[in-house]
Each structure stands twice: as C-alpha cells, then as structure tokens.
Structure 1
C-alpha cells in the first residue's frame, strides 16, 4: 500500500498564494481606511439622533409628515447603532 494517494486528500484547500494576496491588499487597505471613520460617525450619530426625536414628540405625531419623519429618524438611529457598535472596542 502506498501513502501517495489518500482517500481524503486536501487538494482543494491550498494556502493563499502571494499573487492572490497582492490583489486583495489594496481592497483590504481601502476597507480598513474607511471603516474607522464610518464607525466613528455612526457611533456619535447614534448618540445624537435621539435628541432629534424630542421636538417631534413634543409637537406630537398627529400629521403624516411628522410620523414619517419620526420613523425615518428611528430607522437611521437603528442603522447607526448597528454600524457604530464596534467603534473603539
């Protein structure tokens, strides 16, 4: 029996070649350079956006425009919380 062919070979799992790393590096660098500022703005936006709700709630949500604006602000706040949750961890 020979050990050259095994029933469970890992031929499909190859270590990444230097050539593929070269192509991935600029994209990764761009993502890394944009990630921190986006998280920063999202984090502080999530803190500041609830203060925009206060005048709407004080005025009341009687009109459809005020209700729509409230829901848009609420959605923006939830999105900012999701994007900014990893800032400075």
Structure 2
C-alpha cells in the first residue's frame, strides 16, 4: 500500500474557472438573443417595403442611391441576425 499524497485536492484550483463577470455577460447575451432575433426578423420583413418607393423614384439622385444602399445593407444585417428566429 502507498501513502496518501501530502497535497490535498483543496489546494489545487480548478483548471479553467469562468470569471463571474463572464458568466453574467453570457447570461445577459442569452436573455437578449430572443428579442433581438424577433426584432431583426420583422425588420427584415418590413424593409423591402421601404425600398419600393425609392426604386419607383429612381436611383439617379446620389442621395437616393446612398439611402437605398444603406437600407439594403441594414436589411442584409437584419436577415443575418434574425435568421434563427422561432426555430426550436
């Protein structure tokens, strides 16, 4: 029989403890994920209706073209964020 080790398990720290602030941050992110996906999903649905008047007006004016491109970029971003909404 061998002698027990003089080092106790209490003196050894866990290999990768998660800091409390990291745990709170993860909990916060999970709590806002659902509402953020909901909002992004419906924004992605509604934004194309805003594009229609701009397209009907024509994209000849640089300000209208810039507005269209910004709205199109926002639509793509909203599609990306909201793509997982209501998938259980």
- The TM-score with structure 1 as length reference comes to 0.74
**Superposition map of 1:1-89 within 5 A:** 16-17=16-17, 20=18, 22-89=20-87
- Rg larger for: 2
- The TM-score with structure 2 as length reference comes to 0.75
Query: Which runs of 4 or more aligned residues in structure 1 lie more than 3 Å from their structure 2 counterparts after TM superposition?
Result: 14-17, 21-24
**Structure 2 stretches of 5 or more lacking a match?**
1-13
In the comparison of the two structures, how many residue pairs are matched? 74
